[in-house]
């Protein structure tokens, strides 16, 4: 999991997804479902375009006994380039979230369910 976070998000390299997720990967995040590895890569590209200097810090991770589920708490930081439909004003961005992953026996990622503090971030970016 930590390699995924570092090699994809912190390296700003959506193509690295190919090493980590199955072809029919599914992510449920922000009220939408993205299905398929290529669609996931495009979604990552769009997200990275909205947060300059994005950095994702894993605060902690847990896994169940057989390794088929992993949960991570994370902190995303960067500068606003239009995240959540806001004006790209380069304000500091800080958002927490939780990701729960379904993991295949060979370690490939099957599904990711994400909850993130986007409403709180939107409120901070649009205040005053």
* pLDDT on residue 1: 83
Check whether 128 has a pLDDT greater than 80.
no
Which pLDDT score is estimated for 106? Answer: 96
Angle at 42 (CA atoms; ends 99, 59), nearest 5 degrees: 25
Q: What would the pLDDT profile of 59-85 be if each residue is shown by its tens digit? A: 999 999 999 999 999 999 999 999 999
Mean pLDDT of the chain: 96
Checking if the pLDDT of 92 tops 80, the result is: yes
**Which pLDDT score, from 0 to 100, does residue 6 have?**
96
β-strands 32-35, 51-63 pairing:
unpaired
Interatomic CA distance for residues 117 and 71, integer angstroms: 16
Give residue 86's domain range.
2-126
Domains identified in the chain, total number: 1
* Whether pLDDT at 112 is above 80: yes
Tokens 């890569």, residue located? 41
pLDDT at 93 over 90: yes
- CATH number (domain holding residue 59): 3.10.450.50
Hey, CA dihedral for 114, 119, 120, 121, is it positive or negative? Answer: positive
């Amino acid at each position: 999991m930590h390699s995924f976070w570092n090699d994809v998000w912190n390296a700003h390299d959506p193509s690295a997804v190919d090493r980590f997720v199955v072809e029919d990967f599914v992510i449920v995040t922000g009220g939408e479902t993205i299905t398929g590895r290529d669609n996931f890569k495009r979604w990552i590209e769009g997200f990275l375009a909205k947060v300059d200097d994005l950095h994702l810090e894993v605060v902690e991770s847990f896994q169940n006994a057989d390794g088929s589920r992993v949960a991570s708490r994370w902190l995303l930081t960067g500068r606003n380039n239009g995240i959540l439909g806001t004006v790209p004003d380069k304000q500091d961005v800080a958002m927490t979230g939780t990701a729960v992953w379904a993991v295949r026996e060979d370690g490939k990622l099957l599904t990711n369910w994400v909850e993130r503090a986007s409403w709180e971030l939107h409120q901070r970016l649009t205040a005053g």
